């Protein structure tokens, strides 16, 4: 197939300057309005400055140009008025739009309501050469760059965390007289609290997020980013370490989908868009920006709010007809893993409770943890379940199932009976569940990337034995191609119509992502096989163990049949897709590389053809299948458990897996 790839349209830019400054925690406070199809509220970001903010790029293609270049000025937020002569300059040739301070007679490109929207451009940015080093350049102000798209940014301000009562205990140096330095020190002490004080940390984050503003910041947006600066703050260390952004989403924003469930009632949720969450809230998208978050979401009382969160939230009634839901995450994760779903869901509960169900309902809190030596983990400090004696033996984590009311019966018959055995099977293979709980949601039939696959499956695959044949298998996998998220799994309603086999294998695939894709993430998003290849291989392994009624030889025959059908699917894809999109590491030796500022691109990340391709699923699957057969199950899965224990909570590249594999392969099995 002769398809010409265009980097200006195919590559996804990651604009955030994560080498200079990192978001450590997000606090979201949002209102969901179904009538206007808008999510509106505030986002407070807590930062820690990086260790490379002073470094200048050695490449002229990756750095800002001299002040003789065309000036890039900022829109001045009201009511602060900054003279044009005070603005600094930086390159406008790297993909940014020119900025202007709107005075009398000047053109204002903000929305009619006065909001500043992401500018719509005909084409994106072609390659990593667009990336601008936004660190300190002599007398210029430091520029914070966040990934942002399809949002209306209303206001950006510094947060006066020093005004929070009792916060003075976070000020170690009484000699600090500069208020801005005092605020930044408070944030530094807060983000670096030890893991056993996580409850206190979350409480202080919440209190600081409600502190008053202490000065509006200059900001502007372009197609892919939000840029913020503070006059006189020349380095990341000087830049405010706690800022508040007031914004609203757009109905057509590409990170969320407004639709109706199977009963015709409105709902909204993140759709697994190629642009991830930048149209849901301004954030740092690069995987290296590992952060925690907490969110309060208000919606009509008839709606249920589900979200990536360690707690099984319950609604709090604020006033008649309005409820509030609160979730939090203490394990640092990329912002792309944040997921939200709001709709009139019904929790599906078993008619009778089995012993497994009773055990799963018991909540597990990290505060009860019997922590072992923290040195056994290689990740940054957080309340880690791998260090907790009770968590390591928890075969079945607490879980809930939600669906539209009309599918309640189907869920009780099929899905509800499978969650516990699938979770138990996964634990028997890989050990400790990385996350403390799981919600499973049956998504609406008209979900854009699932509706096609759903209807295709229903009409083409009336029985479970034909599920992995030809083009149907391609559609079958595509519907699960959205980014992974902790604590919540989306399943298509089609999984309920194919019997326990279809529902079970899909559930096992998504459960496998808790280890591969979430607990262990790819440092470069082009290495999708590190998530999807492992999940595809492990879904067979988990499902074989979960099907207790199958004899071992029957389970083996089932896996062999699926392998045969997958091989046919891979051959078909290799014959009928662009060769450039078949490469597992399209960036080759530059995989994992970023500019001095931390910005980069995801090669082919926006290419629509790539969304339908399964190379990263199938090539990865066959590699792992070969290794398991070559080494033997005992040796291979023993190594896999060791790999998980070594790298959980971290980001990896392919070479990390392959190097550890070579170091652990017995000598007699290397040839």
Distance CA 574, CA 619 (A): 11
Matching residue, tokens 């260390």:
237
Task: Extract the tokens encoding 315.
Answer: 């609604």
Q: 334: closest CA among 276, 255, 253?
A: 276
Distance CA 126, CA 128 (A): 7
Matching residue, tokens 């202490």:
214
Chain centroid to CA 162: 31
Q: Catalytic annotation on 510?
A: yes
Which residue out of 285, 510, 532, 573 is catalytically annotated?
510
Q: Are 388 and 328 in contact (CB under 8 A)?
A: no
Matching residue, tokens 């936004």:
134
The set of residues, in sequence order, having a beta carbon less than 8 Å from that of 6 and lying 6+ positions away, is none
Q: 530: closest CA among 640, 450, 384, 438?
A: 640
Q: 294: closest CA among 580, 29, 658, 590?
A: 29
Q: Are 11 and 220 in contact (CB under 8 A)?
A: no
Burial class (CB in 10 A: 0-12, 13-18, 19+), 13: buried
Rounded to 5 degrees, φ, ψ at 260 are: -125, 150
DSSP β-ladder status, 316-319 and 488-491: unpaired
Q: Are 397 and 364 in contact (CB under 8 A)?
A: yes
DSSP secondary structure, 651-665, as one string = EE-HHHHHHHHHHHS
Longest dimension (CA), the chain: 80
By residue count, the chain amounts to: 671
> 3-class SS at 245?
strand
Q: CA geometry: angle at 244 spanning 240 and 250, to 5°?
A: 135
Q: 477: closest CA among 336, 576, 341, 615?
A: 615
The set of residues, in sequence order, having a beta carbon less than 8 Å from that of 272 and lying 6+ positions away, is 449, 481, 482, 483, 490
Distance CA 153, CA 467 (A): 45
Write the CA distances from 168 to 11, 165, 200, integer angstroms: 46, 8, 15
Distance CA 211, CA 229 (A): 20
Which 8-state DSSP code applies to residue 455? H
Helix (H) or strand (E) run with residue 305 in it = strand 304-307
Q: Which residues are identified as catalytic? A: 510
């Amino acid at each position: 197939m002769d398809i010409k790839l265009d980097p200006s349209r195919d590559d996804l830019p990651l604009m955030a300057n994560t080498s200079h400054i990192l978001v450590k925690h997000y606090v979201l406070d949002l209102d969901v309005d179904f009538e206007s199809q808008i999510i509106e509220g505030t986002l407070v970001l807590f930062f820690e400055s990086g260790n490379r903010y002073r470094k200048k790029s050695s490449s002229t293609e990756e750095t800002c140009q001299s002040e003789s270049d065309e000036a890039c000025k900022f829109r001045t937020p009201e009511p602060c008025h900054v003279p044009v002569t005070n603005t600094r300059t930086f390159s406008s040739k790297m993909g940014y739009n020119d900025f202007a301070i709107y005075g009398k007679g000047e053109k204002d490109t903000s929305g009619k309501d006065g909001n500043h929207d992401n500018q719509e451009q005909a084409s994106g940015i072609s390659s990593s050469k667009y990336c601008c080093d936004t660190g300190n350049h002599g007398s210029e102000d430091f520029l914070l760059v966040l990934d942002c798209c399809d949002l209306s940014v209303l206001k950006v301000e510094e947060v006066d965390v020093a005004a929070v009562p009792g916060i003075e205990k976070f000020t170690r140096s009484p000699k600090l007289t500069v208020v801005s330095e005092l605020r930044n020190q408070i944030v530094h002490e807060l983000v670096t609290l030890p893991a056993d004080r996580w409850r206190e940390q979350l409480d202080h984050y919440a209190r600081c997020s409600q502190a008053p503003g202490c000065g509006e910041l200059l900001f502007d947006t372009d197609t892919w980013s939000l840029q913020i600066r503070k006059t006189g703050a020349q380095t990341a260390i000087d830049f405010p370490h706690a800022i508040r952004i007031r914004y609203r989403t757009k109905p057509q924003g590409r990170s969320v989908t407004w639709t109706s469930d199977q009963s015709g009632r409105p709902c909204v949720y993140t759709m697994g868009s190629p642009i991830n969450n930048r149209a849901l809230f301004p954030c740092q998208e690069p995987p290296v920006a590992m952060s925690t978050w907490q969110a309060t979401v208000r919606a009509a009382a008839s709606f249920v709010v589900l979200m990536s969160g360690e707690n099984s939230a319950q609604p709090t009634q604020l006033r008649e007809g309005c409820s509030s839901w609160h979730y939090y995450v203490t394990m640092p994760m990329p912002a792309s893993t944040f997921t939200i779903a709001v709709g009139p869901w019904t929790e599906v509960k078993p008619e009778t409770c089995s012993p497994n169900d009773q055990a799963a309902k018991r909540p597990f809190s990290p505060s009860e943890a019997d922590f072992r030596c923290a040195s056994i983990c290689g990740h940054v400090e957080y309340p880690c379940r791998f260090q907790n004696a009770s968590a390591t033996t928890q075969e079945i984590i607490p879980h809930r199932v939600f669906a539209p009311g009309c599918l309640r019966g189907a869920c009780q018959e099929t899905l509800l009976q499978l969650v516990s055995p699938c979770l138990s099977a996964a634990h028997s293979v890989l050990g400790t569940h990385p996350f403390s709980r799981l919600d499973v949601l049956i998504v609406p039939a008209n979900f854009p990337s699932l509706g096609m696959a759903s209807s295709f499956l229903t009409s083409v695959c009336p029985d479970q034995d034909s599920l992995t044949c030809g083009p149907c298998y391609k559609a079958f996998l595509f519907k699960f191609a959205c980014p992974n998220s902790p604590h919540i799994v989306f399943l298509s309603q089609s999984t309920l119509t194919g019997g326990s086999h279809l529902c079970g294998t899909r559930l096992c695939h998504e459960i496998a992502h808790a280890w591969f894709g979430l607990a262990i993430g790819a440092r470069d998003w082009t290495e999708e096989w590190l998530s999807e290849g492992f999940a595809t291989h492990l879904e067979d392994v988990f499902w074989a163990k979960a099907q207790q009624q199958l004899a071992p030889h029957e389970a083996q025959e089932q896996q062999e049949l699926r392998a045969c059908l997958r091989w046919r699917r891979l051959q078909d894809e290799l014959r009928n897709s662009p060769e450039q999109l078949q490469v597992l590491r399209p960036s080759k030796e530059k995989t994992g590389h970023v500019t001095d500022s931390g910005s980069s691109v995801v090669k082919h990340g926006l290419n629509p053809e790539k969304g339908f391709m399964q190379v990263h699923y199938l090539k990865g699957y066959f590699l792992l299948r070969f290794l398991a057969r070559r080494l033997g199950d005992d040796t291979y899965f023993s190594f896999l458990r060791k790999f998980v224990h070594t790298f959980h909570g971290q980001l990896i590249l392919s070479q990390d897996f392959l190097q550890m594999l070579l170091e652990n392969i017995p000598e007699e099995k290397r040839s």
